[in-house]
Structure formats: structure tokens, C-alpha cells
Amino acid sequence: MGRMFGTDGVRGIANTELTNELAYNLGRAGAYVLTKETSHAPTILVGMDTRISGDMLESSLVAGICSVGATALVAGVVPTPAVAYLIKKYNADAGVVISASHNPVEYNGIKFFNKDGFKLKDEIEDEIEDIIKNSLDKLPYPTGEDVGMKKVAETAIDDYVDFLISTADKTLEGINLVIDCANGASYQAAPLAYFGLKANVTVIHNEPDGKNINKNCGSTHIEDLKKKVVETKADIGLAFDGDADRCLAVDENGELIDGDKILSICGINLKEKGLLKNNAIVGTVMSNLGFDEMGRNNDINIVRTKVGDRYVLEEMLDKGYVIGGEQSGHVIFLEHNTTGDGILTGIQLLCVLKESGKKASELAKLMNVYPQVLVNAKVNNDKKQKYLENEDVKNEIERISKKFDNEGRVLIRPSGTEPLIRVMIEGKDIASITEEAEKLAKLIEEKLK
């Protein structure tokens, strides 16, 4: 069995891979590990997205939390970053979110946050996993008055929206905005926040039914958003993913403004205000080569980490950086929240848009994008970390790397949450890099079935 925790918690097909038993055990072990140092009856905040399996898994998770004597403070459907923020506001001892983020409805996941609102370090996750695999029976089973209980955080959405509004240094009055809520966790909070900041808001995909989360909508499918922005003559559009920790934007012409460009726009603005600590923006190995070029042109240091917003955050905390994120739209404004926050990211971007007086398309030109092709190879999940052990795959990667050595790059990355290997090639000739990426992905699928 491989490591239970991936790059963003425990994730799998709900009710087969992520079972009720596993959710219960994660509740028990997670609550114990995260609160064992407390001298009081601990409280753990629980949130979830809109997918149909959420209620089922919440019941099991809460039961596990209560079984070790902790109180489960249930917030219901809220964005992942709402939990990260509210842990501190409510003086909770930890938090947990039931969500599979951008994944299809059949998936779900469970991810923990510590008392300071940060995702867990690998060693803490390993401790939780070790208990589940080897020593669950050694955890306490309190009885009588010491059994934990479930409470409801009735003002969670309102408290989170108040926080979001407080991060803006101006109203958004006069901005015509379209937001795509992905039929997910942002469907209440996002409209409330942007209406509260006086933007003129058109909302799409904000009618979740448990089955339509991320379905042809949100940050992974922005076609509807592009059309709506052009159709309504909006100034800009924003798309969130299922748990609203990501944000991608669309300019007034319907063109994508990805995470790299959002980081560039907001990072340059922070530099101009003297607020870009250590004169650096943190990206990942997936960040476009144009991101580095933007840094050179604006005398900003670009720092790269492994893929995953948790690794971006670790680098930010270690070096004192204030902004970082991923091309996919995970953007962390550490002065405001401890994790990627899609609605917050949108607010900060719109504040720059209003302050600049420019069109979104003009701001987007602050960074040039090199052609980049990403192809997913479906593989056996147990083999995805061992792709370099296959000589044919290894040799083909070396050949392509040499071919694009002077004008691009090749990046191969096993997915942290799915049975996929992601093949990314960057270069000047889109036709050539597309052909090579598709050919390599096909070879990987054949060799790692």
C-alpha cells in the first residue's frame, strides 16, 4: 500500500476507496494527533463542499472525532479557506475539510488543518497514517460525560464573508463582474462577498444539487465563463473550483488570465507599493517560463517549489515571502490567509484592476506566456511513481529534453491525487510540443498499464 496522504489530504472514489470506515478512522486518529497536547476538551471545525457523498462522509468523520472526546463544530458547506480562517476566529484546536477540490463528483477527500490554519506537514500526516494502520485500538475510548459532541457553527458563512470584505482596500463599485461558482462550496460566499463590495455581479453555476460540482463549469471548464463575460460586456470574469481554494480569471475579451498572470499582476502591484517582502514571488516547477521573464523585467525574484500549494506555503513561511501560488489558480496572500483562497484572490485582483484604471487584458500583458502543452497519461496508480524505471520511457524523456533544451523544457509529474502522470512540454512551436507530449503520454500509458 502506498502513502495514504497525497499532496492535498486523503482522496479517492467515495464509498469504495474513501470509505465510511476510513473517514471514521481519520476522524479518530486526526483528532487525537492534532489535539493530544491540549489540556481542555478540544474542538475541531468541520467543513465540506457540495458533492453528494459529503453528508455520508461527514457523519462518519464527526463520529470519529467525537469518539475520542473532541467536539465537532460543523460549518456545513463552506470553502476550504473559510475553515482555515475560522479555526483561528473560533479558537478551535484544528480543522478538517471534506472535499475533492476540482475532481469529479465521484471523488471526495479529507484534509486537515492545524490550530493556526495551516495544512499539515508530512510528518504529522505520517503520524496519523501510522496510527490508522498500526495502533487504532490504543486510542482512548471515553465514556459518559467525556464522549465528544457535535455543534453547529451557524454564522460560519457570514463570518467568512465579513473577513473577505475586510481584505479589500476599496470598494469594487463600477466593476462589471461575472463569477462561476462551479456549483461548489463558493455558491453562497462568493456572491455575498462581491455584492458586499458593491461590484455589479452576474453569477453562473451557483445551483449545486450534489451531482453537478465541477461539471462543465468552474476553474477546470471556463468555456461558459468566457462566453458570459463577452455576452454581458463584463470587465472581467472569475472562476472557482469545487472547494474555492483556486481562482482563474477571464479578461473582457474572454481570454484566460491564469494563476501565473494573477501572481504577476498582484506581485508587481505589491512591489510598487513597497509591500513585496524580500522582493520575491513564489511559484512552482509548473510555472510558465514567461513567469521568470516577467520577474527579470520587473526586478522581482521568482522562487520555484515542488507542485502543491502546501510546498509553496512552506517556502513562504520559511523565507518570509507574502505572495505565492500555482498556475492552476492556487494563490496565497499570506498577509490575509494561510492557504490558497479563490474568493480572496479574486478580490485582490479586482482591487488592482480598479486602482490601475486599465482593462484586464492590459494588465494581463505584464506577463508573456510561452506555449505550454499538458497531456495526462492514465496509468496504474501503483506504478506512477516508478515511471523512470522503464527504460523506454526514460530514453524518450531524455530525447525530448535534448530536443527542446535551448528553447523550452520537459516536465513529468505523477499526480498526487489521481492515477495519472502529467506530461508537460513548453516551447516556441506549439505544433511540435503538442506532438511530442501526446506521443510521450501514449508511450507512458502503454508501459505503465
Q: What is the pLDDT of residue 341?
A: 97
Give the DSSP H or E segment for 97: strand 94-98
Q: What is the pLDDT of residue 2?
A: 66
31/44 Cα distance (integer angstroms) = 7
CB-count exposure of residue 143 (10 Å: 0-12, 13-18, 19+): exposed
Q: What is the pLDDT of residue 270?
A: 98
Whether 101 is a known active-site residue: answer yes
Identify residue 382 by its one-letter amino acid code.
Answer: D
Of 53, 60, 67, 101, which residue is the catalytic one?
101
Which structural domains are found in the chain, ordered by start?
A: 10-155 (3.40.120.10), 162-364 (3.40.120.10), 372-447 (3.30.310.50)
Contact 214, 102 (CB under 8 A): yes
- What is the model's pTM? 0.88
Q: What is the pLDDT of residue 7?
A: 76
Nearest-5° Cα angle at 269, 298 to 364: 75
49/409 Cα distance (integer angstroms) = 36
Residue tagged 490550530 (cell numbers): 115
Query: pLDDT tens track of the chain, all 449 residues?
Result: 468 998 788 999 999 999 999 999 999 999 999 988 887 889 999 999 999 999 999 999 999 999 999 999 999 999 999 999 999 999 999 999 999 999 999 999 999 999 999 999 889 999 999 999 999 999 999 999 999 999 999 999 999 999 999 999 999 999 999 999 999 999 999 999 999 999 999 999 999 999 999 999 999 999 999 999 999 999 999 999 999 999 999 999 999 999 999 999 999 999 999 999 999 999 998 899 899 999 999 999 999 998 888 899 999 999 999 999 999 999 999 999 999 999 999 999 999 999 999 999 999 999 998 888 999 999 888 888 888 888 988 999 999 988 887 678 888 888 877 889 999 898 888 999 999 999 999 999 998 87
Helices (H), 277-390: 289-297, 309-319, 342-356, 360-364
Closest CA to 343 of 169, 174, 183, 194: 194
